[in-house]
């Protein structure tokens, strides 16, 4: 695994990793000690900042009980960072396979936790836009007016 980029953000409304080389087999995005400026706000992950209905997701969410959802045609991988506060850091990762293909679906899987509730998320899914390789990962605020701070790392698997 090779570190592609390390981003320490403070008071941001989005985080972007752009111009990603197609020379890796998989991408691995990891976030650690991410805090939110208040309890409202949702950040989602988009590939190439694509907000089209190109994400098919199966998701398990745990709180005091377990809920599941299958979402076909979502506009992002939603809620990778959700509400919280600086005293409730969030951690997680997502792995994207075959990201450099411009003719096949790309598969992803990930896990993250919001320590505020607490909530645990596990997702698997596919990105249906097969016309272009993934060259950027964009964590965008999709709800609320809050900001995020913390560390985001993007790595590539060589084999």
Q: What is the pLDDT of residues 21-45, one digit of tens each?
A: 999 999 999 999 998 887 778 899 9
Q: Which residues partner with 141 through β-bridges?
A: 43
User: How distant, in Å, are the alpha carbons of 86, 91, 108, 133 from that of 99?
Assistant: 33, 23, 9, 6
The distance from CA 51 to its chain's CA centroid, rounded to whole angstroms, is 13
Mean pLDDT of the chain: 91
State yes or no: pLDDT of 152 exceeds 80.
Answer: yes
Q: What single DSSP character describes residue 6?
A: E
pTM above 0.75, yes or no: yes
**Pairing state between β 106-114 and 119-127:** antiparallel
The token duo for 111 is 């896990």
Q: Which two tokens stand for residue 53?
A: 């209905």
Q: Kindly state the average pLDDT of the residues 72-93.
A: 84
**103-125 confidence digits (pLDDT tens):** 999 999 999 987 666 689 999 99
- The answer to whether residues 37 and 146 touch, using CB atoms and an 8 Å cutoff, is yes
Between the alpha carbon of residue 51 and those of residues 4, 74, 75, the distances in Å are 24, 8, 5
For residue 100, the SS3 value is coil
The whole-number pLDDT of residue 97 equals 96
Give me the pLDDT at residue 39, please: 76
Task: For residues 48-56, give the mean pLDDT.
Answer: 96
CA distance 128 to 21: 20
pLDDT value of residue 82: 82
Res 86: pLDDT: 61
């Amino acid at each position: 695994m090779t570190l592609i980029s390390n981003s320490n953000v403070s008071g941001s409304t989005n985080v972007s990793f752009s111009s990603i080389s197609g020379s890796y087999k998989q991408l691995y995005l990891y976030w650690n000690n991410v805090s939110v400026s208040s309890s409202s706000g949702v950040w989602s992950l988009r590939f190439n900042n694509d907000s089209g209905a190109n994400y098919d997701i199966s998701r398990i969410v745990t709180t005091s009980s377990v809920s599941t959802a299958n979402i076909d045609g979502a506009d992002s991988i939603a809620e990778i960072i959700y509400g919280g506060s600086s005293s409730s850091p969030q951690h997680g990762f997502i792995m994207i396979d075959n990201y450099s293909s411009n003719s096949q679906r790309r598969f992803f899987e990930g896990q993250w936790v919001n320590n505020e509730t607490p909530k645990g998320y596990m997702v698997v899914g596919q990105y249906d836009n097969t016309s272009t390789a993934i060259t950027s990962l964009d964590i965008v605020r999709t709800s609320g007016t809050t900001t995020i701070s913390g560390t985001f790392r993007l790595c590539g698997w060589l084999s």
